[in-house]
Amino acid sequence: MKIGTYYYPEQWPREQWERDFDGIAALGLQIVHMGEFAWFSMEPREGAIQLDWLSECVEMAAKRKLGVILCTPTASPPVWLVEKYPEVLPVDGAGKRARFGGRRHYSPTSPAMKQATGRIVSALAERFGKHPAVIGWQVDNEYSSDFIDQNEHAVAAFRSWLAAKYGEIGTLNKAWGCQFWNTFYTDFSQILLPESRVLKYGNPHEVLDAARFWSWAFGQFNRGQVEILKAKMGSDFRVQGSGEGKTRTGTVSTPGDAAAQQGHGQVAHATPFITTNFIPFQADVNPSDMAGDFNLMSWDSYPCPGNELAPTDQNYRLGNPSQIGFMHEYMAGFHKRFGLMEVQPGQINWGDAPVHLYPGAVRLWLWTALAHGAEFATTYRYRQPRFGVEMFHHGLIGIDGTTPSLGGREFQQTIDEIERVTTSERAATAASPVAPVAAPAVTPAVGLVFDFEQLWWFNILPQSKRWDYARLMRQWYGAFSRLGLNVKVLRPGQEWPADLPIIVAPGLQMVDNVVIDQMTKYAATGGHLVLTCRTALMDRTGQFFEGPLAKPILPLIGGSIEAYDGLPQGSLAMIEQDGKKYPWGVWGDLLYGEPETKTIAKYADQFYAGAAAVTQHRYQGGLVTYCGVFGEETFTDALAERIATQAKLPITPLPPRVQILRRGAYRILLNYTTGAVEAPAPARTRFVVGTRKVEAAGVAVWKE
């Protein structure tokens, strides 16, 4: 895994550039990322392209053997563009046009924005498309918007999108349930574009389609840039590992280079990539709408924004390992090739509180990225800014421009550790070049199905303020990862690997025949399928199936859902499983099982005490567990351990917030707690990083 940093030469005096590039190299960094907000510096007047300064910086990087990630600058349109073409700026629901300034002040459907984008991206691609130092491109930055644009061009694009999807207005009326408020349309030209995904008292099916459209609109804007870059890169751009079941590609500089990389194989030279940096669970853009245009996926990780309410420990200084791990695997699942584009380097400016990170946190996050198979990890930013809205956002270097910050020192430490391990591995291989290399043990994997469209629908029509789809995914990811199992994130429509002994599909409320057929086939052929509350209640338009609740999956679960309950904020009730009681509060289905269906857990209180909460049903050659309750983490952990034990998987139960992953022949323990833990390594194990006693926020690496 290569490690690097963002650098903004246009923000600093030219006479400091050489010094800064020397400093980047001195830290041991291998990548420099440039250009994402520099449109005005690249084109100060319409058509007056000026890239010599950027070329000079690319050559400075190349001289120091730094790989370069170049960015298209479209996240920050220049003033001359919006002044001449005001329709670039989005319009809100009150008809107020956004003002110039900051970033992300554009509409992706604006013709003028697309034309100007084509010009600047073409110039960049012509100049740098085949430059040997450029290892990849980032398109735009963190696609998102404050609201859905109401410009005439956006509304027209929405109408065209709807006409292409539905064909006839009557089909749309039916899909949107327009008979409910008698809000029928007679022509697509009558339809307006919802300004946000906040429903208020409108039509939820219309808002769902608006969310789909807005993501598609960003996808089309993105595709225009990608096609320009690909044309200039030519044969240098190719999609490696696309599709499912292939090995992950990347650069060799990770523990285990000499051994086969289990599940996440890497080759010596990575193909130049095109990507963008996604924000976790950000509702404006579904990554699936862009993945087909990229050959690598990447995301931004800021684990400690200080938004916890009344924490009782200091874990908030380390972040949530389940979210971090989930996002790594989600990104990896598209092309088996991913990167961590931004990782928090220290305190940030935009959080609820300026949390001082726990010592070792940054190092822990870098090792986590490596453990999951990231091709690279870079950070925003090299120098902490002395001006602007992000003055308080730490960098690897402090405001004097030369002194490494705490995060910068942890970057340097991690780079040194990885290099030490890699050098040792190469030396061992050179000493015994013909010695047989035993294949590393394979860690069993569990599948976890995540459907981005459910995130939209739950936000639009949550039914419970406590319902949190992202939290549900994190809980199930964390419950299995703490057992020492790999968790592969799957998507609807993606082929489910037949060799996964367990697949969990939490909260797939909207389903179609494709997903139901996948579930049925997997269970029938011997898999253990785990479903949860709020699964298969509706079709893809968001309308209930006519019949009993969850009608499509009732044959699978071997029972019925008689009713459901949700508790008020702050309230918890109890469920009982295997003689122990666990809290729940978000959602609880009251289940009725057929005679051959077993009850695994029951409600322990409320007026329905004794009712089934979790059931298990033998379906042809496999097994289906239905978890009808959205419980607290302790219950999900206990149920996951029961399911894994039942499947006879070799598990290593770990304390909460502790994970073990495998990279080739190496095991990597990640301690996301503020206390020491014991590494479950065999006796006389030689640790290549850390020791058997893994300190708070610590890492241990050993070879098996």
Catalytic residues: 142, 342
Q: How far is CA 523 from CA 61, 427, 495, 502, 516, in A?
A: 53, 47, 14, 10, 11
Candidates 440, 506, 498, 520; CA nearest to 474 is: 506
CA atoms of 329 and 319, how far apart (whole Å)? 17
Residue 460 main-chain phi, psi, to 5 deg: -75, -45
**How far apart are the C-alpha atoms of 223 and 118, rounded to whole Å?**
11
C-alpha of 591 from chain center: 33
How far, in Å, CA of 175 to CA of 191, rounded? 14
Phi, psi (rounded to 5 degrees) for 407: -65, -35
Q: Which are the contacts of 140, defined by CB distance < 8 A and separation ≥ 6?
A: 36, 71, 72, 74, 75, 221, 222, 225, 276
Per DSSP, the residues of 608-626 read TTT-EEEEEEEETTEEEEE
Main-chain phi, psi angles of 619, to 5 degrees: -120, 105
C-alpha–C-alpha distance, residues 642 and 636, integer Å: 10
The DSSP bridge pattern shows strands 629-631 and 622-627 to be: unpaired
Separation CA 443–CA 668 (nearest Å): 13
Q: Is 311 exposed, middle or buried (0-12, 13-18, 19+ CB in 10 A)?
A: exposed
* Kind of pairing between the strands at 528-532 and 622-627: parallel
CA 172/CA 350 separation, integer angstroms: 41
| 42 membership: H or E segment, kind and range | helix 39-42
Please give the structure tokens belonging to residue 487.
Answer: 């968790």
Task: List the one residue out of 10, 557, 500, 605 whose CA is nearest residue 245.
Answer: 500
